[in-house]
Amino acid sequence: MAITMFPKITLFIATFVFHSTIKQPSLVFGSDPDPLQDYCLPSPHTHLCKNSSSVTVDDFVFSGIKHPGNFTNKFSGVPVSSTVFPALNTLGMSLVRADFQVGGINAPHYHPRATEVAYVLEGKLYSGFVDTGNKVFAKVIEKGEVMVFPRGVLHFQMNVGDSPATVLGSFDSQNPGSVKLPIALFGSDIDSELLEKAFGLKSKEISKLKKRFGIKKEE
Ligand SMILES: *[C@@H]1O[C@H](CO)[C@@H](O)[C@H](O)[C@H]1NC(C)=O
Ligand SMILES: *[C@@H]1O[C@H](CO)[C@@H](O)[C@H](O)[C@H]1NC(C)=O
């Protein structure tokens, strides 16, 4: 991983120099670092790039999103990040396949490290996000349309059609991360008293929510 440190340091210095010499408001740098080689398939033990003599075309092909994943509550998400598709390592992008049965939702969540462009392959979805001023941008989008969800911003989708829906999301990070609000809040070990105070709910109600979302982190 040491190999990927350089761009970060350069970026940091560049950002510092830039901000100290030019007055330009709200210009922010932030993305995966640029690659220093054509590709970098991490070797299992050292995590350094594999010698290209042991890399094959199959390393660059991933077949795991031909079909929907396993459904939970009418929703299935199959991330294609560098974790499952190592060829993406150092390349700064990844995908997710999301499938919705009729009425299924992708609960409010955000990706801390990436902007997402979501392309509707099939179906009709109420789709949107809420900005940091609590303004909601949401509407029904359908097959062939895309919607963008800015990095780190809370977003959601619901199949409002009468047939299954499929979305392909693309990210400008090899590892966007995903924080699902219901699970992060009620499926984690945050102290119940704090949650009671935060939501103005009784202990019993928090216990119920904890029971419902008590699935541990997915990614
Ligand atoms: C990569 O493997 C080839 C063939 O085994 C070898 O000749 C070459 O020196 C290796 N390169 C590096 C950088 O280890
Ligand atoms: C779906 O569930 C099966 C059985 O638990 C598991 O083997 C498989 O890897 C899962 N598929 C996905 C895409 O998560």
Which of 65, 70, 218, 219 gets mutated to test ligand 2 (max ligand atoms within 8 A of its CB)?
70
Helix H, strand E, coil C: the string for the chain is CHHHHHHHHHHHHHHHHHHHHCCCCCCCCCCCCCCCCCCCCECCCCCCECCHHHCCHHHHCCCCCCCCCCCECCEEEEEECCCCCHHHCCCCCEEEEEEECCCCEEEEEECCCCCEEEEEEECEEEEEEECCCCCEEEEEEECCCEEEECCCCEEEEEECCCCCEEEEEEECCCCCCCEEHHHHHHCCCCCHHHHHHHHCCCHHHHHHHHHHHCCCCCC
Confidence class for position 187, pLDDT limits 50, 70, 90 = very high
Per-residue pLDDT band for 44 (boundaries 50, 70, 90) equals confident
Per-residue pLDDT reduced to its tens digit, 130-174: 999 999 999 999 999 999 999 999 999 999 999 999 999 999 999
pLDDT at 101 over 70: yes
State in Å: Cα 95 to ligand 2 middle: 18
* Per-residue pLDDT at 6: 44
User: Which ligand 1 atom sits nearest the alpha carbon of residue 53?
Assistant: 2
- pTM for the full predicted model: 0.81
Residues with CB under 6 A from ligand 2: 69-70, 78
pLDDT digits (tens, 9 = 90+) for 85-99: 999 999 999 999 999
**pLDDT tens-digit map of 5-39:** 444 444 444 444 444 444 444 555 567 888 888 99
Domains identified in the chain and CATH numbers: 70-178 (2.60.120.10), 187-212 (no CATH)
More confident residue, 46 or 73: 73
Q: Which ligand is nearest to the CA of 37?
A: 1
